[in-house]
Amino acid sequence: MPVLSPKTVHHVTSGRSSSCYTLFVNELTGRQKIIEALKGQMLTAREISQAVGIKEKEVLEHLPHIARSLGAHGTQGPSLLVEPSTCLACGFVFRKRERLKTPSKCPVCRSEEITETRFGVFEQ
Ligand SMILES: [Zn+2]
């Protein structure tokens, strides 16, 4: 069993049943790897999945938790930055932050030429 600091244990187990211990150690490892991969650079979900070795879908599931655990932009310490997708045809910016997955179509001009949403972890 890996040795975790009391702070880490508290963070990892908060709100969860302790019977899922192995599960959240795995999740924690996945999230930590994503955070490490994103430190100081912006990557798309696909690039993260290649860097970390997990599925793109899983990356998108981890990202909201990472955003929450790192704290909001403007607080101390590193935070997750999200660069929104933009439509290359008309310049529409997908600003809704809760939509982490790159949208398939522009709602304005219906173009499918959309830049991928990118993520990065930066110290502030
Ligand atoms: Zn457009």
Q: How far is the CA of 92 from the centre of ligand 1 (A)?
A: 5
Q: How far is the CA of 90 from the centre of ligand 1 (A)?
A: 4
- Domains of the chain: total: 1
The pLDDT tens digits for 19-51 are 555 656 666 688 999 999 999 999 999 999 999
pLDDT of res. 30 = 87
pTM: 0.70
The parts of the chain modelled with pLDDT lower than 50 are 1, 3-18
Please, what's the b/e burial string for 81-100 (b: 16 or more CB within 10 A of its CB; e: otherwise)?
bbebbbbeeeebebeeeeeb
pLDDT of res. 43 = 97
Range of the domain at 26: 6-122
Q: How far is the CA of 59 from the centre of ligand 1 (A)?
A: 26
Q: How far is the CA of 94 from the centre of ligand 1 (A)?
A: 10
Q: How far is the CA of 106 from the centre of ligand 1 (A)?
A: 5
pLDDT of res. 110 = 96
Domain assignment present for residue 17? The answer is yes
Q: How far is the CA of 21 from the centre of ligand 1 (A)?
A: 45
Q: How far is the CA of 109 from the centre of ligand 1 (A)?
A: 4
Give me the helix-helix angle, 45-52 and 56-70, nearest 10°: 100
pLDDT of res. 16 = 47
pLDDT of res. 69 = 87
- From residue 54, alpha-carbon distances to 9, 31, 62, 112, 114 in Å are 24, 10, 11, 26, 24
Q: Is 36 buried (19+), middle (13-18) or exposed (0-12) by CB count in 10 A? A: exposed
Which CATH number is 76's domain given?
1.10.10
Domain assignment present for residue 47? The answer is yes
Q: Which residue has the tokens 């049943």?
A: 17
Domain assignment present for residue 1? The answer is no
